Amino acid sequence: MNKLEDAMSNMSNIQDSLDTLIYAIGDAPRKYTEDELLNMLMGMSQLHQTCYDNLWMEYENFKREHQTFDEDDIFNQNSKTLRTNNNNEELCY
């Protein structure tokens, strides 16, 4: 669970980055160029995507470890785990 919790808390770090960018635009004594601000935004966008990808991976790992699949879960479709349907027939997913 720690990896999932870490990945979730990393998503909140993005708010800190946004606050820093807002400071750079509005309150910093140094005036950043448009290119510098765009570079900051592009970096933050990539950082957010990476954090999101990591969070999703840890979430899927958590579901696999705790066998908490949804019926329509794409990862469950490739699982070798035997399950039973409502008629108590064994099904292989």
- Domain of 28 in residue numbering reads as 2-68
Residue 50 lies in a domain: yes
Mean pLDDT of all residues in 24-44: 96
Residue 90 has pLDDT above 80, yes or no: no
Residue 33 lies in a domain: yes
Nearest one of 15, 4, 14, 13 to 54, comparing CA atoms = 4
Residue 80 lies in a domain: no
Residue 73 lies in a domain: no
Residue 4 C-beta-side C-alpha neighbours within 13 Å: 11
How many domains does the chain fold into?
A: 1
Instruction: Answer yes or no: are the C-beta atoms of 85 and 91 closer than 8 Å.
Output: yes
Percent of the chain whose predicted confidence (pLDDT) is above 70? 72
Instruction: Answer yes or no: are the C-beta atoms of 14 and 54 closer than 8 Å.
Output: no
Instruction: Answer yes or no: are the C-beta atoms of 4 and 62 closer than 8 Å.
Output: yes
Non-local (6+) Cβ contacts of 33 within 8 A are: none
Residue 91 lies in a domain: no
Q: 17 or 74: whose pLDDT is higher?
A: 17
Residue 79 lies in a domain: no
The reported pLDDT for the residue numbered 63 is 87
Residue 29 lies in a domain: yes
**pLDDT tens per residue across span 1-13:** 689 899 888 888 8
Q: 3 or 78: whose pLDDT is higher?
A: 3
Residue 16 lies in a domain: yes
Mean pLDDT, all residues of the chain: 81
**AA letter at 72:** D
